[in-house]
Chain A
Amino acid sequence: MNGGSIPRLARGMRLREDKARGQWVVLGPERMFVPDEIALEILRLLDGARSVDALADDLAARFAAPRAEILADVLAMLDDLAARGVVTA
């Protein structure tokens, strides 16, 4: 994945609130991921239209952090989620 990639949740993956346990989860076939706070911020921004660059812009503005650092973190996290079949681009 790179700055121009447009990531989205992979087919069969759903992000939803787990009220019984007070958390958000990604549900997939026979699997469940509990994203940490940062992963959840990223997953919530995936709309199948915005690029990784656009996500990094958004997050850098909201968290007042250096954009290059944010972009690197976002790419690393998306690569990891892609390897686990949670997101695709």
Chain B
Amino acid sequence: MTDAPLALLAELTHRCPLRCPYCSNPTALTGPGEELDTATWARVFAEAAELGCLQLHLSGGEPTARRDILDLVRAAGGAGLYTNLITAGVLLDAGRLAALAEAGLDHVQLSVQDAEAGSADRIGGYAGGHAKKLAVGRLVTAAGLPLTLNAVVHRQNLDRLPALIDLALDLGAGRLEVAHVQYYGWALRNRDALLPTRAQLEAATATVEAARAAHRGRLVIDYVVPDYYAKRPKACMGGWGRRFLAVSPAGRILPCHAAESLPGFDFPNVRTSSLRAAWEGSEAFARYRGTGWMPEPCRGCDRAEVDWGGCRCQAFALTGDAAATDPACALSPDHGLLALAVEEAAGAGEGFTYREPRPEPRRAPAPG
């Protein structure tokens, strides 16, 4: 019997006013015309709760670009889910935040690109964005909503981590997520401009440890050593198909939001499948679940059920084989690729390839 999932990530749309060069959306974006409608999302939320999900993350793209965001939050609350809005904030104002709180939203996670406006606006590709975010952060706490500040960090902003921590405190955030860029999709294209140096990373780790002690009970800081400097991989998604599922703007049901980058999958779609059927019965969710699929050196490793072989998307992005051991593991025969990438990045420039809207290629109609 398959354990029930704990959380659903609902990627409501790929539309977003920002153009972050490490965007976690796929490089082929879904157009607005293909997005699920309000009623379908509401059904998906109810199915998720019934399946055992406790948490719902409303994400995107920018979820507040959806005109029905209030209806979606109401539907999520009605299903009994703890509802978290993952937002860039720039489309929000006091009125919309009050309405979201009234609709039953439980929590807001606000992203910032840097602690310094000029750099933040350059990274996000959105002039004036940082100032808007600061104003919105204050409005979130003023509306009585708990706030997490999400700082995506990399070579071009990691030195300002102390200022990012101060910013979280200043905005009244109860939690700060210091999220190292993960290198798939857009971020992989910009890896040379983003990978931090070892010296930066060591300083950041020390900063986090000191800040955790200094602000104990006031600010929770989530921080994980990034893959490119790790000896063991992260337990990506807590293991494929074990705790988590995602639904893409077009309705595809995925074991992780980046899984669409993997070839050779026929992911189920909420338009034709229930979440339960996808979770319990689909080949896509079964393929890398558990330990049976694992190659050497994962097979028989005493950490096989700790890290679950790491990340399938990273394995594919770096080795071309989604079933390989994640190269973040020092035991992987491909582990040297990471050190090589770090070395290459050290000599590279700071220019970005920005995320640009590019609709998904339409599938060719079936013959006959």
Which residues of chain A have a CB within 8 Å of any CB of chain B? 10-12, 14, 16, 18, 20-21, 25, 27-30, 32, 82-85
Bound-state Cα–Cα, A11 to B4, Å: 27
Bound-state Cα–Cα, A4 to B124, Å: 48
Chain B positions 268-306 with a Cβ under 8 Å from a chain A Cβ: none
Instruction: Given the known inter-chain contacts A14-B106, A83-B217, please indicate yes or no for A29 contacting B84, CB distance below 8 A.
Output: yes
Measured CB to CB, the closest approach of chain B to A84, in angstroms, equals 7
> Given B52, B144, B217, B222, which contacts A30 in the complex, CB threshold below 8 Å?
B222
Bound-state Cα–Cα, A29 to B140, Å: 14
Chain B residues with CB below 8 A from A10, complex form: 146, 174
- Asked whether, in the complex, the Cβ of B54 is within 8 Å of the Cβ of A29, the reply is no
B80, B82, B145 pick with most chain A CB within 10 angstroms? B82
Which residues of chain B have a CB within 8 Å of any CB of chain A? 4, 6, 51-52, 54-55, 80, 82, 84, 106-107, 109, 144-146, 148, 174-175, 177, 216-217, 220, 222
Chain A residues with CB below 8 A from B84, complex form: 29-30
11 A-B pairs with C-beta separation under 8 A: A11-B174, A14-B82, A16-B54, A18-B54, A27-B54, A29-B84, A29-B174, A32-B55, A82-B217, A84-B220, A85-B174
Instruction: Given the known inter-chain contacts A14-B106, A25-B54, A27-B55, please indicate yes or no for A83 contacting B216, CB distance below 8 A.
Output: yes
CB-CB nearest in chain B for A84: B220
- Asked whether, in the complex, the Cβ of B217 is within 8 Å of the Cβ of A27, the reply is no
Bound-state Cα–Cα, A14 to B56, Å: 14
